[in-house]
Amino acid sequence: MIGVSGASGTPYAAAVLRALVDAGEAVDLVVSRAARLTILDETGLPFRDGRWRDDLAQWLGRDLATADVVHWAAGDLAAGPSSGSYPVRGMAVVPASTAACAGIAIGLSKDLLQRAAEVNLKERRPVVVVPRETPVTRSHLEHLIALYDAGAVVLPASPGFYGAGATASAAQLVDFVAGKVLDALGVEHHLFRRWAGELGAARAEGA
């Protein structure tokens, strides 16, 4: 299950979703109300519940006709993923706003994204949160510690440069973070070049 909350960094969400679709994985998707603002701001595209398949296809640049994607409205607290009995393998919240981190950490369940994340935590399934805020307050850090203690993988949107070197493009840096999310979910991918113990290999490959 993928939750997209209203932090900056919608390319991270798009990269994770694209990789899951390309890998033929089933995806349950919830997009918070605030995330619709960040998607609009960062891409110029709308994301509407009533037209989600078309809007998602445009956002991802993928034909989703045969993709196994189910969209759930963020306000639908009776949706399948609001229950632990609904079959999902785990959840990633990408990007994760400080508000979403706080809500999940304290069990607020103010919308389906927060409820589904809490459900996955209580069911002891893999939960990955990708916070995107800087700098952070003590309260932000405390919520991340609470999420860590509850079993979540806290995976800040903090790309490494060892995959593509110092001249890495924005897309390569986005793919680095997306690849780490897929690693945490146990999904195979080729989004970045893995460290193989050789200094400068990324630069040599790019040269």
Q: CA quadruple 51, 74, 42, 160: dihedral positive or negative?
A: negative
Least gap, CB of 74 to ligand FMN (angstroms):
7
* Interaction between residue 60 and ligand FMN (CB under 6 A): no
Q: Choose which of 1, 2, 6, 14 interacts with ligand FMN (CB under 6 A).
A: 6
User: What's the rounded Cα separation, in Å, for the pair 79 and 139?
Assistant: 30
How far CA 62 is from CA of 15, 145, 184, in Å, comes to 11, 36, 24
φ/ψ (deg, to 5) at 91: -150, 145
Least gap, CB of 194 to ligand FMN (angstroms):
28
User: What's the rounded Cα separation, in Å, for the pair 144 and 7?
Assistant: 15
Given the structure tokens 């950490």, which residue do they identify? 105
Instruction: Output 81 or 164, the one with its CB closest to ligand FMN.
Output: 81
Letters for 11-40 (x = contact with ligand FMN by CB under 6 A, - = none) are ---------------------x-xx-xx--
Letters for 146-185 (x = contact with ligand FMN by CB under 6 A, - = none) are ----------------------------------------
Q: Choose which of 82, 97, 120, 172 interacts with ligand FMN (CB under 6 A).
A: 97
Instruction: Output 75 or 160, the one with its CB closest to ligand FMN.
Output: 75
Tell me the two tokens of residue 157.
């949107």
* Number of residues counted as binding ligand FMN (CB under 6 A): 16
φ/ψ (deg, to 5) at 68: -90, 70
Are the C-beta atoms of residues 101 and 147 closer than 8 Å to each other? yes
Instruction: Output 5 or 172, the one with its CB closest to ligand FMN.
Output: 5
Q: Choose which of 25, 28, 55, 133 interacts with ligand FMN (CB under 6 A).
A: 133
Q: Choose which of 1, 5, 82, 189 interacts with ligand FMN (CB under 6 A).
A: 5
Least gap, CB of 115 to ligand FMN (angstroms):
12
Query: Across the strands, what pairs with 169?
Result: none
Tell me the two tokens of residue 134.
């800087």
Give 34's DSSP letter.
H
Question: 172: how many CB neighbours lie within 10 A of its CB?
Answer: 19
Instruction: Output 7 or 178, the one with its CB closest to ligand FMN.
Output: 7
Residues in the site for ligand FMN, rule: CB under 6 A? 5-8, 32, 34-35, 37-38, 41, 97-100, 132-133
